[in-house]
């Protein structure tokens, strides 16, 4: 068993939380390329150096701690959602760092560590690992903007010490990512470990409907071209039209809405909104896209709106590597017999992109109440340590 040190691991997790600490409890605000994100990455790079790893920050800000020669890559991301929890991504990075340190101390299997940049999609969808894997070209990424119109190219230029070249993936034998479940299953069922079998696919696009801005008091309801009403009709129609396409595991979200001019005495003339959907089946994602596009056209035609679709980003569903999954399942059975399960991931992870280049495996620990992408995200420290132990046992077994 690798000589992991739970106290050192927990201390680093709490230290990382301080970068962008916000809100109640253990919340963080640490979006990609924000001041706390850049500072946290510099701190991580230092920890990697102390662990005897050689640091390379790639052109888009993903931070790698590289072991000599061939190695197992482990990690996740350390950027957060606009309002995030202290563990989403950070857990996988610090767990990887702890396993790497223990492995160096034991002369054990060489382990490299990574914190990918912009997994949380301030600019794209799992942007940093998507660029590294070729799922997204750097050119296309550089043109992406965040919700305030900041360009990816300008944001990444803020990050010091970036190298000109990307890390060569052929030096890695595989990738293991530990993550919080971000859902309710493990917590509800009293399980300590989830071994992931597959990660869902995702599509994400912006849609704009332009009607007519006018006076809220003098404009009769009949004949208004009210952009909010267009959105609400669109939302109602897609739910109806999805009915015999989706399953209980399919999800779709309109999470970001910009209403112009967003004033109570003005009939809104324009709405731009995010449309995101996820499912484990690529065909179903495609059928949902057709329904979304057709419904937006119908609403625009029937209501006299001008319609524009923004760029659509997406990732396909992926299965985890059988050998890595088996090592994780054996380690879970040895450590927490009867308190683990194999399960799909409804959340997206960097492992999806990395699976283009090498075998990948994922391990979950419970999220209290299933809460994530919120300041209230949390996991019992005992569960964090159990996850670390099972992860280290699997790494040892793979050696």
Residues at the interface with Mn ion (CB under 5 A): 88-89
Tokens 């912006």 locate to 206
When the beta carbons of 120 and 396 are compared against ligand HGY, the nearer one is 120
How far are the Cα atoms of 27, 167, 343, 380 from residue 377, in angstroms, in the given order? Answer: 7, 32, 20, 11
When CB distances are held under 5 to 8 angstroms depending on the partner's kind, the choice from Mn ion, ligand HGY, none that residue 383 binds is: none
Residue closest to 342 by CA, chosen among 327, 329, 331 = 329
For the bound state, the minimum distance from the C-beta of residue 325 to ligand HGY, rounded and expressed in Å, comes to 20
Q: Does position 177 bind ligand HGY by CB under 6 A?
A: no
For the bound state, the minimum distance from the C-beta of residue 372 to Mn ion, rounded and expressed in Å, comes to 7
Between CA 388 and CA 136 the distance in angstroms is: 31
Is cis: bond before 261, omega within 30 of 0? yes
When the beta carbons of 121 and 194 are compared against ligand HGY, the nearer one is 121
- Listing DSSP states for 322-382 in one string gives HHHHHHHHHHHHHHSTTSEEEEEESS--HHHHHTTTS-EEEEEE--GGG--SSTT----HH
Nearest residue to the partner ligand HGY, using Cβ: 347
For the bound state, the minimum distance from the C-beta of residue 349 to Mn ion, rounded and expressed in Å, comes to 6
Instruction: Show contacts with ligand HGY in window 319-348 (CB under 6 A).
Output: 347-348
Q: Does position 296 bind ligand HGY by CB under 6 A?
A: no
* Buried-exposed string 266-305: b where 16+ CB fall within 10 A, e elsewhere: bbbbbbbbbbbbbbbeeebbeebbebbbebbeebbeebeb
When CB distances are held under 5 to 8 angstroms depending on the partner's kind, the choice from ligand HGY, Mn ion, none that residue 348 binds is: ligand HGY
Q: Does position 178 bind ligand HGY by CB under 6 A?
A: no
Q: Does position 377 bind ligand HGY by CB under 6 A?
A: no
The helix/strand/coil state of 255 is coil
For the bound state, the minimum distance from the C-beta of residue 276 to ligand HGY, rounded and expressed in Å, comes to 8
End-to-end CA distance of the chain: 11
Name the β-bridge partners of 340.
Answer: 193
For the bound state, the minimum distance from the C-beta of residue 81 to Mn ion, rounded and expressed in Å, comes to 6
Between CA 297 and CA 389 the distance in angstroms is: 52
Residue closest to 81 by CA, chosen among 39, 31, 125, 116 = 31
For the bound state, the minimum distance from the C-beta of residue 128 to ligand HGY, rounded and expressed in Å, comes to 12
> Which of 79, 98, 119, 210 is close enough to bind ligand HGY by CB under 6 A?
119
Query: Which x/- pattern, by CB under 6 A, does the window 75-114 give for ligand HGY?
Result: ----------------------------------------
Between CA 31 and CA 147 the distance in angstroms is: 12
- Stretches 119-127, 164-172, 244-252, 297-305: which one binds ligand HGY (CB under 6 A)? 119-127
Q: What are phi and psi of 385, to 5 degrees?
A: -70, -40
The helix/strand/coil state of 71 is strand
Q: Does position 318 bind ligand HGY by CB under 6 A?
A: no
Between CA 178 and CA 6 the distance in angstroms is: 15
Determine whether 68 is exposed, middle or buried from the number of CB atoms within 10 Å of its CB (0-12, 13-18, 19+).
exposed
When the beta carbons of 79 and 383 are compared against ligand HGY, the nearer one is 79
For the bound state, the minimum distance from the C-beta of residue 247 to Mn ion, rounded and expressed in Å, comes to 23
- Stretches 38-46, 90-98, 117-125, 287-295: which one binds ligand HGY (CB under 6 A)? 117-125
For the bound state, the minimum distance from the C-beta of residue 234 to Mn ion, rounded and expressed in Å, comes to 26
When CB distances are held under 5 to 8 angstroms depending on the partner's kind, the choice from ligand HGY, Mn ion, none that residue 226 binds is: none
Q: Does position 120 bind ligand HGY by CB under 6 A?
A: yes
Q: Does position 393 bind ligand HGY by CB under 6 A?
A: no
When the beta carbons of 229 and 345 are compared against Mn ion, the nearer one is 345
Q: Does position 37 bind ligand HGY by CB under 6 A?
A: no
Which residues of this protein are in contact with ligand HGY, per CB under 6 A? 119-121, 347-348
């Amino acid at each position: 068993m690798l000589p992991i040190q739970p106290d050192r691991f927990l201390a680093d997790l709490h230290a990382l939380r301080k970068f962008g600490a916000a809100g109640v409890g253990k919340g963080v605000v640490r979006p990609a390329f924000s001041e706390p994100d850049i500072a946290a990455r510099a701190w991580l790079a230092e920890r990697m150096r102390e662990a005897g790893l050689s640091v390379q920050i790639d052109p888009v800000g993903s931070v790698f701690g590289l072991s000599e020669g061939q190695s197992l890559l482990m990690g996740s991301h350390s950027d957060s959602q606009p309002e995030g929890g202290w563990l989403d991504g950070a857990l996988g990075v610090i767990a990887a760092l702890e396993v790497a340190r223990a492995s160096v101390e034991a002369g054990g299997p060489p382990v490299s560590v990574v914190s990918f940049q912009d997994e949380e999609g301030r600019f794209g969808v799992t942007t940093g690992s998507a660029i590294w894997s070729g799922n997204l070209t750097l050119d296309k990424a550089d043109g992406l903007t965040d919700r305030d119109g900041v360009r990816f190219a300008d944001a990444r230029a803020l990050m010091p010490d970036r190298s000109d070249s990307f890390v060569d993936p052929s030096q890695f034998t595989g990738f293991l990512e530990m993550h919080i479940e971000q859902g309710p299953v493990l917590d509800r069922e009293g399980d300590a470990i989830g071994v992931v079998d597959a990660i869902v696919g995702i599509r994400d696009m912006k849609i704009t409907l332009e009607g007519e801005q006018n006076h809220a008091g003098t404009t009769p309801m009949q004949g208004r071209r009210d952009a909010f009403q267009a959105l609400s009709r669109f939302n109602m129609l897609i739910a109806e039209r999805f009915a015999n396409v989706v399953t209980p595991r399919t999800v779709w979200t309109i999470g970001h809405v910009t209403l112009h001019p967003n004033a109570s005495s003005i009939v809104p003339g324009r709405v731009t909104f995010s449309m995101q959907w996820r499912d484990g089946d690529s065909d179903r994602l495609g059928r949902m896209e057709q329904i979304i596009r057709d419904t937006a056209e119908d609403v625009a035609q029937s209501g006299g709106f001008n319609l524009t679709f923004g760029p659509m980003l997406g990732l396909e569903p992926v299965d985890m590597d059988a050998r890595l999954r088996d090592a994780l399942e054996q380690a879970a059975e040895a450590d927490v017999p009867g308190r683990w399960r194999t399960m799909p991931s409804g959340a997206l992870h960097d492992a999806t992109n990395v699976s283009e280049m090498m075998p990948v495996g994922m391990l979950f620990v419970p999220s209290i109440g299933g809460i994530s992408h919120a300041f209230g995200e949390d996991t019992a420290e005992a569960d964090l340590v159990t996850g670390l132990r099972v992860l280290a046992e699997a790494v040892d077994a793979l050696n």
